[in-house]
Amino acid sequence: MVDYRVEDQFAILEINNPPVNALSLHVREGLLNGVLRASADNNVKAIILIGKGKTFPSGADIKEFSRPGKAPWLPEVGHTIESSNKPVFSALHGTALGGGLEIALFSHYRIAEKTAKVGFPEVHLGLLPGAEGTIRLPRLTGLVIAMEMITSGRQVSAKEALKFGIVDKVVEGNLLKETKAFAKSVLGQPLEPRKLSLCGVKDADQVDKYYEAALKELLKKYRGVIAPVSCLKSIRGSAQLPYKEAAELERTLFSELMSGAQSAALRYSFFAERAASRWNLPNGASSANSKPLTIKSAAVIGAGTMGSGIAICLIRSGIPVILVEQNEKMLENALRNIGYILQGSVKLGRMTVDQRSDCLRILQGAASIEKLKDVDIVIEAVYENLKLKQEIFEKLDKICKPTALLCSNTSTLDIDLIASVTSKPDRVAGTHFFAPAYIMKLLENIYGSKTSPITVATIMDLGKKIGKISVLSKTCDGFIANRMNKIGTEAAFLVEEGALPHDIDQVLEDFGMPMGVFKVSDLSGIDIGWSIRQEMAKKQGITLTLETHYVSGERYSSLADRLYNLGRLGLKTGKGWYRYNNASNSRKPIIDPDVTDMILNHCEKLRIKRRQISPQEIIERCLYATVNEGFKILEEGVAEKPEDIDIVWQYGFSFPRYRGGPMFYASQVGLKKVYERICYYHESFPYSKHWLPSDLLKKLVSHPNEVPINLWMNYTNSKL
Ligand SMILES: CCCCCCCCCCCCCC(=O)CC(=O)SCCNC(=O)CCNC(=O)[C@H](O)C(C)(C)COP(=O)(O)OP(=O)(O)OC[C@H]1O[C@@H](n2cnc3c(N)ncnc32)[C@H](O)[C@@H]1OP(=O)(O)O
Ligand SMILES: NC(=O)C1=CN([C@@H]2O[C@H](COP(=O)(O)OP(=O)(O)OC[C@H]3O[C@@H](n4cnc5c(N)ncnc54)[C@H](O)[C@@H]3O)[C@@H](O)[C@H]2O)C=CC1
């Protein structure tokens, strides 16, 4: 794991632990033994630590954090490095992160290859750099930069690291050769001034001021997240306490974070995200054995909200797009709108003026689909209407080249029904983007019964290329995301039973959702849900009234229909579940007594006796109903593994990452407890079929050994 050799009186300790040279136990042992051996060898003048392959160590081995660890610990390795009688040089390339950067900070000198990046990403894992990173970095950079780098987890370039004083030299070419050359130039100089444990923090007298300012920012930016604040406390300790005591404080804070629920969820999320990019189809095809096609050109049909956003995602990644609308006028409007959106990105500093021009240069409009014969992929984003989509796919089947992939952005429709009108159903799939498509990171890809592995591999790969997190779902009504989301339904029932919209929103926001469900509904428009419900009723041959309380034996809430009838369509009309001060263009929701009156009237008419509802019930009703559906989705193979579901929720619905996702959350509460509450709610609400307990969940609770391994979370010890 650490190769030891002596060259030109340099002991070279080459860390070899692919893929990212994580500091696993054997690497720590190798470093410790290597430094001791070199220190005792009279033929060695200096020691060089370097990574083999693509990087210097990118951190501690996160997998080791979930099991009891073993000494030597990183701080012990670090102090052995610092107290060596020979100068130690860390030669950085790739990504020197976390524990990797800490090892470098224990070294006496740091040389970075020009393209290297350094940083402390621990905060993203709900941790702090616990091998004295919070004590050492401020000694090099001063407090402000250390606070910013450690609480944000930002990686900085070699050039910036040089400016901040983190590295001593930036080199080009052969890193080892350049490090030796640098080493020769400083050999013989005293080591004491190079030992950070002996240095002070230069702006220590300003610590209270910097701490207060940073804390204020953090509390605003990372509501409910604890690691950034712990990072800050530890950095404050670095300035206020003697080195040893500061290190002890850091250790205490690190242990608190490590044993806490937030870090467990964030570490799970790190691996879950990577696991979601791996997929297996029932026919044995998988991400490991299927190669994607290269997508060099694309077409998007329908330039409304979604189509325009999808086109932006593609052109931003350099993929030329033909955007198709119904007529020239609509096309012109859409192209102008895309120009404005990109202009907004320039204003926000997300792209340059030149990049915007490059994007627009590869965007072409068309008012007919006849022009699509040469494109590699078509993404259809017209209205959510099966007949219309089938007509379009039938035409595309005739016009497009035989190798072209034909994809739909449908949010609910069965991909098999869309594919059935084509002669090449193996080339048909769903590519479900989330609104706004040019911002939201999730791409939920959907395969039908005939979709080929190449098609799946290509859309999963395309997602990655355009900067999305791709997750694969089998086709079904609503796929993973929309099928599982029971929050809105249960929230409306809770309002009928006694809660008020702002009570529910507050509880969901306190849980960590960025916005409560009623605020989201106002933002997207009350009319959107209304049209979906009307369409559904039409399909079933039902007429919905304001008194409708059951539809086909299922409980139904007409509260939102009442809002629609009152013209309260949400933010756009200045009134919805909340009121908005449109005169001042404010998007701030204001609690509206008229809505409370409307709710009370509704309940009176339907003879619903209202009662006090606790925050606990709100969370249980909204989340456990969702979790129950999640288990049904797993059972049916719609999602292959729980990690896929949690990643869909994190990136599609902004579920707080520090809670892992609904499935992880349920595992932390305890599946047995969740199951019991689901059974209780099923008994209480027999007319809501989403409370019918999932068989898989029942089995996990009663006969866990009979459940296939992929239906367990791999990266956590789920509690029963
Ligand atoms: C008696 C008791 C006494 C107790 C005393 C205890 C004292 C203990 C003190 C310990 C202090 C430790 C302090 C510390 O500083 C902690 C850390 O260092 S935490 C880790 C910080 N580093 C990171 O968070 C980096 C995470 N990785 C990345 O950001 C990216 O992987 C990276 C940029 C490095 C590379 O990206 P890319 O090329 O895109 O590759 P992938 O992301 O796909 O990764 C490839 C592969 O590698 C796995 N992996 C990556 N990083 C790690 C890691 N740090 N540990 C383990 N595995 C890692 C990743 O999961 C991928 O594998 P898959 O199989 O695909 O999942
Ligand atoms: N709006 C949302 O939040 C999301 C919507 N979706 C799905 O995306 C699809 C599109 O939705 P939106 O963009 O919201 O709808 P939209 O109404 O904003 O846009 C649809 C566009 O399709 C165009 N169109 C209709 N028939 C056409 C044809 N024959 N040829 C070319 N263009 C045609 C319309 O002129 C319109 O501009 C739907 O299937 C929807 O379910 C998916 C995810 C989120």
By most ligand atoms within 8 Å of CB, the mutation choice from 15, 32, 54, 62 for ligand 1 is 62
Question: DSSP state, 624?
Answer: I
How many Cα atoms are found within 13 Å in the side-chain-facing hemisphere of 699?
Answer: 14
Index of the ligand 2 atom closest to the CA of residue 385: 39
Q: Which-ligand-closest: CA of 333?
A: 2
Confidence of residue 715 (pLDDT cuts 50, 70, 90): low
- CA-CA distance, 111 to 170, in Å (whole number)? 6
SS3 content of the chain, % helix, strand, coil (to 5): 55, 10, 35
Is residue 532 lining ligand 2, measured as CB closer than 6 Å? no
Encode pLDDT of 469-484 as tens digits.
999 999 999 999 999 9
Q: Could you confirm whether 245 is annotated as catalytic?
A: no
Is residue 20 lining ligand 1, measured as CB closer than 6 Å? yes
User: For residue 31, is pLDDT > 60?
Assistant: yes
Is residue 304 lining ligand 2, measured as CB closer than 6 Å? yes
Radius of gyration of the chain, Cα coordinates, nearest whole angstrom: 29
Which residues, at least 6 apart from 296, have a Cβ–Cβ distance to it below 8 Å? 319, 320, 376
pLDDT over 70 for what percent of the chain?
99
- CA-CA distance, 359 to 343, in Å (whole number)? 11
Confidence of residue 538 (pLDDT cuts 50, 70, 90): confident
Tell me the two tokens of residue 150: 């450690």
pLDDT given for residue 582 in this prediction? 77
pLDDT given for residue 719 in this prediction? 42
ipTM associated with this complex: 0.95
pLDDT given for residue 337 in this prediction? 96
Q: Which of 102, 113, 620, 643 is catalytic?
A: 102
Is residue 454 lining ligand 2, measured as CB closer than 6 Å? no
Confidence of residue 720 (pLDDT cuts 50, 70, 90): very low
Residue type (1 letter), 541: G
Q: Could you confirm whether 102 is annotated as catalytic?
A: yes
* For range 493-518, the mean pLDDT: 97
Mean pLDDT score across all residues of the chain: 95
Q: Which residue has the higher pLDDT, 704 or 510?
A: 510
Q: Which-ligand-closest: CA of 367?
A: 2
Encode pLDDT of 366-409 as tens digits.
999 999 999 999 999 999 889 999 999 999 999 999 999 999 99
Q: What is the Cα 68 distance to its own chain's centre?
A: 28
Q: Which-ligand-closest: CA of 102?
A: 1
- CA-CA distance, 155 to 119, in Å (whole number)? 4
Encode pLDDT of 257-269 as tens digits.
999 999 999 999 9
Closest C-alpha among 268, 286, 285, 124 to residue 647:
268
By most ligand atoms within 8 Å of CB, the mutation choice from 328, 372, 382 for ligand 2 is 382
Confidence of residue 207 (pLDDT cuts 50, 70, 90): very high
List residues bridging with 110 in a β-sheet.
90
- CA-CA distance, 372 to 78, in Å (whole number)? 60
Question: DSSP state, 477?
Answer: T
Is residue 90 lining ligand 1, measured as CB closer than 6 Å? no
